[in-house]
Structure 1
Amino acid sequence: MSATPNRATSEPTERTVLLEGFHAVKHALRFGAPVEPLVTLSTSALLGLAESHAPDLLERLGHAREVDKAEFTRLVGRPHPTGVAGFAARPAVDVAGLAKDRDAPLVLLDNPRNLGNFGAVIRVAAGLGAGGVLSIGDVDPWHPNVLRGSAGLHFALPVGRLDTLDGVEGPVFALDADGAEIVDVRIPADAVLAFGSERHGLSAAVRARADHLVSLPMRPLVSSYNLTTSVAMALYHWDLFQRASGTVKNAR
């Protein structure tokens, strides 16, 4: 379900996205998403979650509309353990501008297939201050299953889709088992970190565009890492260099 409600009827439309659960709503609100409507099965339970997990959002979460189980399921499509959900407008992303101008590495997913992994990558990229997450391929980066995996952190950084790498500026560092060890590589702020699909790896087009092939440290006999783990390791390597040089972008 990719939608947001009509203000008069609270019926979903195609202009906004569904945020399922307290954590997705919390993250979307923290990063400026206008969540409307926000619904809950229990206002008191929601405020209890806010007091323990997001006291900064107490006032905004206090405006949630309390609904019964039938109405919640009708709006959301299914129950949720936290009894909280919301709808938010999908932001416009200047993909062309992001491809040319950024001050933190861009994560590029080359034809990702696992939607949960895709969402988890966005969550990791948001936490480590990446410049954005873009994908090549037929998967919508804002698919509901990707949104579930990101826990609402799509709103923390630009997320979008490219047709090709044409027009993308900055050095491309493609992660590949045959590449140079990443520990010996300095990743600049305008880098593109490219990761292949879980099954097929990097496409020929992305591999040809790469300026550098780099590999992650891996114990012998271990064949591969999960995609999210690979992204986390590469971004953390960049982050360590930022800290060592005193140029940390975001206070954490």
Structure 2
Amino acid sequence: MSGHVVLEGFHVVKHALRFGATIHRVLVLDLAATLALAASHAPDLLDEFTARAEVVTPAEFTAVVGRTHPTGVAALADRSAERAPVATSGRSAPLVLLDNPKNLGNLGAVIRVAAGLGASGVVSLGDVDPWHPNVLRGSAGLHFALPVGRLADLDGLAGPVLAFDAGGEDLRDAVIPDDAVLAFGSERHGLSDAVRAVADRVLSIPMRDKVSSYNLTTSAAMALYHWDLRRRDS
């Protein structure tokens, strides 16, 4: 679904600009402070911030964004079309599938990790909108670095599905194919029966005795890092 999204904070706007988001307004409270941030944290975007920054009052900023922000920077952007490659065979990097995630911050952090490690996209099942403002904050604007979308069902899912569960095979002994779908269950309830039914293999991430679980983002990060490391070694 297309629409507009509010980007809150300098770093969210920075990543959106770097990855080609369609941005309509860049709102700043203090132009000098914003350009100083750009000079120190995103010198590649200094000219763009200089040209596009629109200085507004605190009241105007809050009216558009809904609240203030410590960096005094925000933007209005087009929501990217949901183009996650669920039906694309021969992907060159894994697709991350989140099975009914509930924590918006965790969902955003998974998108951030997936973007950093070069995943082909992030898709979710369930009611949570992966473009919710809290998810955008969690991803630091990296929704624009890779396809992000929501699935109605598992029809058309292409590539071997590797589901992660504590009772699975040790990840350290596995090779993750480039076109794999890496499926992670919800933070509280784990994998659904529907995802288990389509899984070609169930893997587990090694964990010390008496430690009950990993955070969802940590699990996705370790799985993607394992894929990237094995690929580089091959």
Give the shorter-chain TM-score range: over 0.9
User: Is 1:123 the counterpart of 2:150 in the alignment?
Assistant: no
1:48 to 36, 56, 59: 36
CA offsets, 1:175-218, max 9 Å, x none? 00010000000001100000000000000000111000000010
Cα distance in 2, alignment partners of residues 236 and 15 from structure 1: 33
Deviation at 1:36, TM superposition (A): 1.5
> What does residue 147 of structure 1 align with?
136
Deviation at 1:165, TM superposition (A): 1.3
> What does residue 3 of structure 1 align with?
none
Deviation at 1:34, TM superposition (A): 2.1
Aligned Cα root-mean-square deviation (Å): 1.0
- Counterpart of 2:87 in 1: which secondary structure? helix
Percent identity, aligned pairs only, is 68
Cα distance in 2, alignment partners of residues 207 and 171 from structure 1: 12
User: Is 1:214 the counterpart of 2:212 in the alignment?
Assistant: no
Deviation at 1:15, TM superposition (A): 2.1
> What does residue 174 of structure 2 align with?
185
Relative to structure 2, which stretch is displaced further, 215-224 or 101-110? Answer: 101-110
The alignment of Structure 1 onto Structure 2 pairs a total of residues equal to 231
User: Is 1:176 the counterpart of 2:161 in the alignment?
Assistant: no
1:224 to 193, 213, 226: 213
Cα distance in 2, alignment partners of residues 32 and 74 from structure 1: 26
Cα distance in 1, alignment partners of residues 20 and 98 from structure 2: 25
Deviation at 1:99, TM superposition (A): 2.8
> What does residue 15 of structure 2 align with?
27
- Counterpart of 2:26 in 1: which secondary structure? strand
Cα distance in 2, alignment partners of residues 213 and 15 from structure 1: 37
Equivalent residues in 2 for 1:1-252 (5 A)? 15-62=3-50, 63-95=52-84, 97-101=85-89, 102-245=91-234
Structure 1 residues without counterparts, runs of 5 or longer: 1-13, 246-252
2:3–2:79 CA contact under 8 A, matched in 1 = yes
Q: One-letter code of the match for 2:19?
A: F
Q: One-letter code of the match for 1:67?
A: V
Cα distance in 2, alignment partners of residues 18 and 99 from structure 1: 29
Higher relative CO (CA 8 A, sep ≥ 6), structure 1 or 2? Answer: 2
Deviation at 1:133, TM superposition (A): 0.1
2:86–2:158 CA contact under 8 A, matched in 1 = no
CA offsets, 1:209-229, max 9 Å, x none? 100000001000000000000
